[in-house]
Amino acid sequence: MSMNPYVLELRKVGQSQFALVGGKGANLGELARMEGIQVPGGFCITTLAYREMVGEHPEIQEQIAELSELSIGENEKIREMSGRIRNAIERLVIDQEIVAEIDRCLTQFGDKHAYAVRSSATAEDLPSASFAGQQDTYLNVIGKEAIIQHIGRCWASLFSERAVTYRMQNGFDHHKVELSVIVQRMVFPQASGIMFTADPVTSNRKVLSIDAGFGLGEALVSGLVNADIYKVRDGRIIEKKISSKNQGIYALEQGGTVTKEIEAGRRNAPVLTEEQILLLERAGRQIEARFGCPQDIEWCLDGGELYIVQSRPITTLFPVPDLGDEGDGKTRVFISFGHRQMMTEAMSPLGISFFQTLFKQLTNSILYEAGGRLYIDASKELRSPFTRKYFIQGLETVDVLMQNACRKVVGRKDFIRHLHRSKKSMVSMKLMAGWGIKTIQAYRKNDPALVESFMERIRAQMRDMEQQAAKVSGDEIFDFITRSTESFKQTMFGSYGVVFAAAYATTWLNKHIRKWLGDKNAADTLVQSAPNNITSEMGLELLDVADVVRKYPEVMDYFQHPGHETFFDDLAKLGGGLEVSRSIREYLKKYGMRCSAEIDISRTRWNEKPTILVPMILGNVKANEPNARMAKFEQGLLEAKQRERDILERLERLPGGKRKARKAKKAISVLRHYAGYREFNKYSLVWYEWIVKQALMQEAELSVKQGIIRDKEDIYYLTLEELREAMNTNGLEYGIIEKRKEEYASYRKLTPPRVLTSEGEIISGEYDTGRLPQGALAGVPVSSGVVEGRARVIFRMEDADMEEGDILVTPFTDPSWTPVFVTIKGLVTEVGGMMTHGAVVAREYGLPAVVSVENATGLIQDGQRIRINGTDGYVELL
C-alpha cells in the first residue's frame, strides 16, 4: 500500500490520526486493530485530499466565508448558501493523483466488490457532540467511477443544511471542519442494528441496550421499522421487546438498495438468538473498555459473523459522580444539591471546589461533583427504614419531584438491599439533636430579640473577616478560609433553632388551619411583610433607588444603554447623576455581594458589574408609583393582620375554640417573629463568599503580572488546591485551563437530574395529574392565590424587562432575583419546594407561585397568557 497521505488503509489509522481521517475513521481504525472485533476492510480518503480539492478552492472558500456571516434562524439564506456550496463541490473534478491512489486501493480490496462510502468529519463522534447523521453515507456502491462520484457527494454533504445548522448550534467554525471519506467493503447482513453500552432511556451504565432489525441498519435509522429491543446486564438478558417488522432494506446486485416486505411468518419473530445477544454484549463491553466511555455502536450479522461498522461516544449521558478512592462497587443514590439550592446551572471548577471545602467544614459531609453540579450521597438515609421515612418526608419542602423519585427508589426492594452502607449520615445525629433542642427553646421563648442579636453578631463577624481578609496574601489566604469558616460555622449553627422554629410554625399552621377551618396554606398570607427578611428588603429597597432615578431624565436616557466599564464615571457627568450614584452605591454596600447562581464563587457579583441592576431599576420606574416601597410593605402587613384576625375569630367559634385560637396565635407570633431570619443565613454565606473572592481575585491580578496566568478569571477553571499550588510554585500547566473551559462549556448544555445513581441511572419523579384541569402543567403550590397574566420566560436576571402584571417563568430563582418580584404578580419555576428562596419571598410579597413545573420554560411561550393556581399547584395555558 502506498504511503501517499491522500489515502490510508483503515487498519493503519487510529486516534492519533484524527485530523487526517475524522472521528468515524479514527474510531474504525482503532476497532480494526482490536483482537476479536471484525471490521469490514477498507480505506480512508484523508482530509488532505479534501483540503486540496475544497479547502484551497478560492470560489468555495469565499462562499464558506459568506455562510459564516449568517446566524441561526436565517433559514432561507442558510438553505440557499449551503445549496450553492454543495453544487460547487459536486462539480469538482478530483485530482488524478488522488484518483490513482483510490484505484490502487480498490484493486487491493477487489474492484468488483460493492462498497459503502461514508463521511467522516473532524467534528464528529466527539465526546461532547456526536454529529450523528449530519453528513451522508451511501451503501452498495459498485465500480470506480461510482465510488469517486460518491466521494464528491460525501464532501458536499459537509454543507447540507442540517450539518451547517448543527455546527452553528454547537459553535463549530465551518472553515475548521474538514471531511475524510471511508470506503469499506459492503456487508450484506441478515440482521443489523445499534447497541448502546449504557441504557439510552435510564442512562444506567450497567445495562446494555440492543436495537435489532432484519436487513441493513438503514431501516432502523430512518425510522422505517420498529426495532426489537434487548437489554442485558452482566451477561444476563433482563428484558426483551419483540416488535412487528413489516419491511427491511436490502442491497441490490447492480448497486443501491431496495425496501422489501418481510414475509408474514418472520415479521414477529425475534431478530436475534440469545447466543447472538450475549455475543453482542461481550463485544460491546470490550469496545467500551477500549475507548474508556459508553459507546453507541453500529453492528451487523452476516452468515453468523459479527461485524462492527461504527462506534462513537454516547454524548447525551449525564456524567456519574466521581467517587475517587471511595468506590467500593456498591450502588449509591445521589440527590442534586443544586435543586435544593434553586441553582441548577453548571458551576466553575473553582466554584465547585470552594463550595465542597466550605460544606465539608460546615457539616463534615461530602458534596460530589458530576457534570459541573453538586450531589449529596443519600444512600444511608434511603437504606435504613428508620431514616428513610423522615428523610423523604423532609424533601416535600425542598422539591416534590425529588421526593417522588426517592419514593420510587425505596419501592425497589432488591435495589435498596444492595445500596452502599455508608458509616456517615448527611448530618450527624448529634447535630440534629442539638438543633432539635434549640428549636424547642426558640419556639417556647418566641422572642424577636433573638433574631436581632444573631443578625448583629453575624454582621460584626463579617466586618471583622473583611478586615482580616484585606491583610492576607499568598498561602495565608487558604489558611484564612479554613480559620474563618470554622468561626462562621459556630455562629450560623447557633441560630438554626430560630430557622427551624419558623419552619415548624409554618407546617403546624398549614396543617391545623386546614383541619379546623378547611383553609389551604394559611401561613402564606400570615407571613407577608414579616420583619428582618433581608431578601425581601433587598427587593423593596431597590424601589427607593428607582425613586431617585425617576427624577432625572438624563439618567433615565443613559440607563437605556449604560457603559459597563465606565458606569459611575458616566453618571457623574449627568444631571442628577451624583445623587443616583450615591443611591446605587449605598444599595451595593448592603447587597452588592449578590448575583444570580450566587453559591458559585466565580459568578459576577453586582459589586463587580452594577449595570446588572439597571433593567430592574427601569422596570421598577415603569411598573411602580413613587414611594411604592412603603405602600407595598404596609399593604402586606395589613393583609397579614386581617388574615390573623379572621382565623382567630373563626377558631373561637369552634368547639374548644379558645384553646385552638390560643395555640394558633402562638404559632402565628412565632412565624412572624422568626420567618424573616431564614434568609439571613444565606445572605451571610454569600457575604462570606464575597470576602474570600476579593482576596482570591487580588492574588489572581498579581499572578497575571507575574505571568503565572494570562487572565485573572482563569483561576475559575482551577480547583482551590490547584490554585494554591500554582501560587506557591509560580507555575501552571496551561493545558488544564483550556481543557476545563471546554468541559464547562459542554456541562452548561446538560440538564442535571434530581436523583442519580452511581451506575448513571436517572430516576425521575412524576406528578399525579388526575386532579388537574385538562392540559394544565402540574407543579407544587408554594404561595396561595390564582392569577392571570402575560408570561415572561426569562433565563438571565439582567434580561428581566418586566412590566406590572407579568408572570415570571424561569428555570429557578435564588435570592438575587428578588428585586424582580416587586414588579411581577406571579411566579413559575422549574425547580423548588415550599422552603426554597423563591417560595419564601413569593409568600412574603403575597405573589401566587407554582414551582417544580417540569420544562416550564420550554412548554410556556414568552408573551403567552397563562393562569397560575398557587393554591392547588398548576399552570393553565390560555
Give the mean model confidence (pLDDT) for residues 421-449: 83
Lowest-confidence region among 166-180, 235-249, 589-603: 166-180
The one-letter amino acid code at 788 reads E
Cβ atoms of 849 and 842 within 8 Å: the answer is yes
Question: Which segments of 110-230 does DSSP mark as H helices, in order?
Answer: 144-157, 161-170, 218-221
User: Does residue 125 register a pLDDT over 70?
Assistant: no
What pLDDT score does 134 carry? 59
C-alpha cell belonging to residue 773: 384541569
What pLDDT score does 124 carry? 46
Q: Which residues contact 572 (CB under 8 A, 6 or more apart)?
A: 578, 581
Q: Which residues pair with 370 in a beta bridge?
A: 373
Q: Average per-residue pLDDT in the chain?
A: 89
Cβ atoms of 806 and 789 within 8 Å: the answer is yes
Torsions phi, psi of 857, nearest 5? -70, -15
Place of cell 483561576: 715
Torsions phi, psi of 260, nearest 5? -120, 150
What pLDDT score does 127 carry? 46
Local confidence band at 131 (pLDDT 50, 70, 90 cut-offs):
very low
Lowest-confidence region among 330-339, 526-535, 720-729, 800-809: 800-809
What pLDDT score does 311 carry? 93
Give the percent of the chain with pLDDT over 90: 60
Local confidence band at 636 (pLDDT 50, 70, 90 cut-offs):
very high
What are the tens digits of pLDDT across the range 804-819?
889 999 998 888 888 8
What are the tens digits of pLDDT across the range 650-663?
999 999 999 999 99
The one-letter amino acid code at 16 reads S
CA distance 811 to 663: 38
Residues carrying an active site annotation: 837
**CA angle, 562 as apex, 557 and 567 as ends, to 5°?**
120
What are the tens digits of pLDDT across the range 844-857?
888 999 999 999 99
Query: How large is the angle between the packed helices 448-471 and 476-494, nearest 10 degrees?
Result: 180
What are the tens digits of pLDDT across the range 36-70?
999 999 999 999 998 888 877 888 888 888 888 88
What pLDDT score does 223 carry? 63
What are the tens digits of pLDDT across the range 470-491?
999 999 999 999 999 888 888 8
Q: If you ran DSSP here, which 8-state letter would residue 419 be given? A: B
Q: Which residues pair with 375 in a beta bridge?
A: 336, 368
Local confidence band at 132 (pLDDT 50, 70, 90 cut-offs):
very low
How many Cα atoms occupy the beta-carbon half-sphere of 247 within 13 Å? 12
The alpha carbon torsion through 246, 249, 254, 255 (nearest 10 deg) reads 160
List the strands of the sheet with 114-121, edge to edge.
7-9, 42-45, 179-185, 114-121, 137-142
What pLDDT score does 221 carry? 66
The one-letter amino acid code at 729 reads T
User: Does residue 128 register a pLDDT over 60?
Assistant: no
Give the mean model confidence (pLDDT) for residues 80-101: 89
What pLDDT score does 465 carry? 95
Question: Which segments of 301-341 does DSSP mark as H helices, in order?
Answer: 337-340
pTM of the model: 0.85
What are the tens digits of pLDDT across the range 8-39?
999 999 888 888 999 899 999 999 999 999 99
* Strand locations in 143-246 (E): 179-185, 191-196, 207-214, 228-233, 236-241
Residue from 670, 674, 664, 673 nearest 643 by CA: 664
Give the mean model confidence (pLDDT) for residues 260-288: 90
Local confidence band at 227 (pLDDT 50, 70, 90 cut-offs):
confident
What pLDDT score does 126 carry? 42
CA distance 384 to 503: 25
Give the mean model confidence (pLDDT) for residues 117-121: 89
User: Does residue 98 register a pLDDT over 50?
Assistant: yes
Give the mean model confidence (pLDDT) for residues 771-800: 89
**CA angle, 70 as apex, 74 and 85 as ends, to 5°?**
100
Give the mean model confidence (pLDDT) for residues 495-519: 94
User: Does residue 89 register a pLDDT over 80?
Assistant: yes
Give the mean model confidence (pLDDT) for residues 408-425: 84
Cβ atoms of 120 and 179 within 8 Å: the answer is yes
